Structure 1
Amino acid sequence: MRSMSILLPFKHLLSVRTLCNVLIVFFLFTFTIKGQSLLKVDSLASEKVRGLVFLGKDILDNSYWLTGNIVTKSQGGKVFSFQEFSLGQIYCIDFANPVQLGLYYKEYNTWMILDENLVLVNQFDFSKLLSTYEISFVANSVRNTFWIVDELGKSVNRYDPRRGGVNKLYTMIGEDVKKYYSDVNHLFWVTEDNQLKGVDIYGNKILDVYIPKHDLLQILNSKSILYSYNNELFYVDFEKNSSSKINLNAKSISGFFFNTQKLSIFGNRVLNNYQLKLS
């Protein structure tokens, strides 16, 4: 599975993950549940907390945290941090690629690329590069391109910094979007009425489904999600039209992340890990 990009912490979006080489199926229906099963977990070792907000993990099981405007990466016994206060608050964070972290500072319309040690390697000033765009989301995409969402034109785009060109992929006509998520191959968004939609790198629509009310959300792939609501965690399979509650003893869920049978739950200043098998 692959990690994905996240907007916020202020809007509190969780990272998205997607299966590699997954067969994309287009869904269009209203999701309803007649019954709900219970999924059991097995406890694993907990981890040391490195920040106030748990952002998630990458494919190498490195953990990412945010405290104020400081990003921290914990890699085994090593800890790396990055801060840049001159550009305002961090608006988007992308750690899909463990060796190429992306940070977007909306106030100064600046996109930064960091290496695996959180050292700055490149910087893009979109006020100069894309002066006619009102950017609301930036993330890494395939072949060193970037996802760009233009709020003014309601368009999903891919920007190629090598040639300075923009490829317009999709227009979100009449949609009131509250959250964006992405991986390198897909961009997803959730509307105010909880409709989850997504497109691939060619602009093909891959997902259109209503999802339950939620506090936090992780898109596992185009067929399934995890979400928390009122400090409870649920797994939804769109294809099977089923929902399962995750059997946890967590009193508080302020962040969670799932990858390859490992579920991490952050709450009450503790990061607990569990083994979770999803069918």
Structure 2
Amino acid sequence: MKAKDLFGIDAFGTAYFTSEDNSFYKKSKDTTLVYSNFQLGEITSANTFNPLKINLFYKDFNTVVILDNRLAEIFKIDFNTLQPYKNVSFVSTGYDNTLWIFNQDLQQLELYDYKTKKIKQKTVPVQSEVLDLKSDYNQCYMLTKNYLYVYSYFGSLIAKYKNEGYEKLAFGDAYLILKKESELYTLPKDGQKIEPIKHPNLLINQFLVTNETLYLYHDETLRRYQLKSQ
């Protein structure tokens, strides 16, 4: 598999990724769909959790594009034109017509309704650099240099873990996966303890989780591992 950035693989094996020319692909066994918007430059992140409302974040242009399951553009949010102005550094999917966005100027996480152009919830500002942001309908995970924060869908802080050198995160239905250098760690969604994944040959360029399957992408090779509880 040849991809610049791999953003998602669903339960049916459909892959979501970008190419070197920054086109966004949805590729299954039978079909390949492509979305391109060269005016907005490089795709910083893509959230494919809801395949009917895929969001593409173009950080350089402070803009989010929402796509349907055929990769047709259904909504565009230009944060430069909002009042008050929002300088956004991270974006992830919320429930209904909402997005979790990190407001860089205010250093706070906000749940933004892009249809009504209103903030539904916001968190207390954080004091350290944000490294990653992921979410589903129920929870939002924000990794900073100091802590991993877990928020409910209405913005309440559920849990807080000290960051022991973790750099990025991914999650599925049962597990949160954290990356530290060339090692991966799991945090069960119903657990409290972060445990290392024991495997002798973890070559990690990009990683993601679907249900209880861990995908590792490295040097055009996609590897699949089944996560098991001991």
Shorter-chain TM-score above 0.5: yes
Between 1:79-88 and 1:259-268, the stretch displaced more is: 259-268
SS at match of 1:239: coil
- TM-score norm. by structure 1 comes to 0.71
Indicate how the Cα distance of structure 1 residues 260 and 203 shifts in structure 2: closer, same or farther if over 3 A, else same.
closer
1:130/1:137 CA distance change after superposition, 3 Å: farther
Superposition pairs of residues 103-142 of structure 1, within 5 angstroms: 103-142=56-95
Quote the Cα distance in structure 1 between the aligned partners of 2:102 and 2:167.
23
Structure 1 residues 1-279: aligned runs within 5 Å? 49-68=1-20, 69-193=22-146, 195-220=147-172, 224-237=175-188, 239=191, 241=193, 243-247=195-199, 249-250=201-202, 252-278=203-229
Larger Rg: 1
**CA, structure 1 residues 126+276, in 2 after alignment: closer, same or farther (shift >3 Å)?**
same
Q: Secondary structure at the match of 1:256?
A: strand
Between the aligned residues of both structures, percent identity stands at 23
Aligned equivalents of 2:206 and 2:141: distance in 1? 19
Q: 1:91-117, CA deviations, whole angstroms, 9 ceiling, x for partnerless residues?
A: 231111112211122222221111112
Which ranges of structure 1 fall in alignment gaps of 5 or more residues? 1-48
Mapped contact 1:50–1:74 kept (Cα < 8 A) = no
Read off the aligned partner of 1:167 and give its amino acid letter: K
Following TM superposition, by how much is the alpha carbon of 1:131 offset from its aligned partner in structure 2, in angstroms? Answer: 4.0
What secondary structure sits across from 2:165 in the alignment? coil
Question: What's the offset of the Cα at 1:209?
Answer: 0.3
Question: Conserved in 2, the CA contact under 8 Å of 1:58 and 1:97?
Answer: no
1:114-136 per-residue CA deviation (whole Å, 9 max, x = no partner) reads 11122222212222234422222
Q: What CA distance in whole angstroms lies between the structure 1 residues aligned with 2:180 and 2:198?
A: 12
When normalised by structure 2's length, the TM-score is 0.84
Aligned residues: 228
Structure 2 unaligned residues grouped into runs of 5+ = none
| 1:137-192 Cα deviation digits (max 9, x unpaired) | 22321121222221112222222233332224212242332322222332222222
The one-letter code matched in structure 2 to 1:144 is: N
In the TM superposition, residue 270 of structure 1 has moved relative to its aligned partner by 1.0
How many angstroms apart in 2 are the aligned matches of 1:127 and 1:268? 37
Amino acid at match of 1:198: V
Structure 1, residues 14-40: CA drift from partner, whole Å, max 9, x if none?
xxxxxxxxxxxxxxxxxxxxxxxxxxx
Greater alpha carbon shift after TM alignment, 157-166 vs 195-204: 157-166
Q: Within 1, Cα distance between the matches of 2:126 and 2:224?
A: 41
Moved more, 223-232 or 265-274: 223-232
After superposition, the C-alpha distances for 1:175-225 in whole angstroms (9 at most, x for unaligned) are 3323222223322222223x101222222101200243245422447x953
Q: RMSD of aligned C-alpha atoms?
A: 2.6
Residue identity matched to 1:83: S
Q: Do the aligned residues in 2 keep the contact of 1:51 with 1:65 (CA within 8 Å)?
A: yes
